[in-house]
Amino acid sequence: MWRGRHVVLGVTGGIAAYKCVELGMVPTARGARRPVVPKRGAGGFVGAATFEAVTRRPVRRSLWEPGTALDHVILGEQADLVIVAPATAHLLARAAAGIADDLLTSLLLATRRPVLLAPAMNDEMYANPATQQNVERLRSRGWHTVGPVVGPLAEGPSDRPGRMAEPEAIMAHAERILAGDGPLYHTKVLVTAGPTR
């Protein structure tokens, strides 16, 4: 499933960024090419050297470094899938508005490939109508989401969604997207074992 695939991992500046090390490491070990595009805030949680070590690829950070002027277009064209994890409220709002003022948001606007978002934020922020509208706007464009889930947050226990889905769940969702629509994808099947007594 992963061998030879180009999967761009966009990492934002949320506390859940530490989980993204596994999102870079496991698919790379399975043969995927996994460039990482961290937003500036992500470096406060996980350094670029960590992502370079686990993906064995250079980290792409800026539209403004020499030789990177078209990275947002090239990465978007080469990608089989773009994953953004954690997808913070800030990133969701900027993507929904079509703002493209850094490498990751420019890539998201330039790509025609599938995008998978793994939202993660405070539960109040996720429940806010503005965030809900942004998520729905992005889904209406064909983008996929996984999570958030209920569980402990950085500030303590929570009984509402806000926690980023675990890396295994994100990778499982990514595999379904990469598998695409098979010949039975839209087929409805009814299974019966006969009459009951």
Closest by Cα among 93, 142, 134 to 116: 142
33 has a pLDDT exceeding 90: no
Number of domains making up the chain:
1
54 has a pLDDT exceeding 60: no
Q: pLDDT at position 38, please?
A: 46
Rounded CA-CA distance 11/20 in Å is 7
What is the value of pTM for the model shown?
A: 0.72
Domain annotation covers residue 193:
no
Q: pLDDT at position 17, please?
A: 72
Q: Give the number of other Cβ atoms within 10 Å of residue 180's Cβ.
A: 9
User: Is the preceding peptide bond at 152 cis, omega within 30 degrees of 0?
Assistant: no
Rounded CA-CA distance 167/22 in Å is 7
Q: pLDDT at position 135, please?
A: 96
Q: Please write the tens of the pLDDT for every residue from 59-109.
A: 656 565 655 555 656 676 677 888 898 899 999 999 999 998 888 888 898
- Collect contacts of 42-47 with beta carbons under 8 A, ≥24 apart: 42/11, 42/12, 42/13, 42/17, 43/13, 44/13, 45/13, 45/14, 45/15, 45/17, 45/18, 46/11, 46/17, 46/18, 46/20, 46/21
Structural domain harbouring 145: 7-179
Check residues 50 and 174 and name the one with the higher pLDDT: 174
Q: pLDDT at position 159, please?
A: 85
Domain annotation covers residue 187:
no
| DSSP per residue, 143-161 | -EE---EES-BTTB--SSE
Identify the bridge partners of residue 8 per DSSP, sorted by sequence position. 82
Domain annotation covers residue 197:
no
Domain annotation covers residue 143:
yes
Q: pLDDT at position 74, please?
A: 67
Mean pLDDT, residues 49-58: 57
Domain annotation covers residue 73:
yes
Q: pLDDT at position 110, please?
A: 86
Q: pLDDT at position 59, please?
A: 60
Domain annotation covers residue 192:
no
Q: Please write the tens of the pLDDT for every residue from 120-165.
A: 998 888 999 999 999 999 999 999 999 898 887 777 888 888 888 9
Domain annotation covers residue 196:
no
Domain annotation covers residue 1:
no
25 is written with which tokens?
Answer: 């490491």
- Report the CATH number at residue 112: 3.40.50.1950
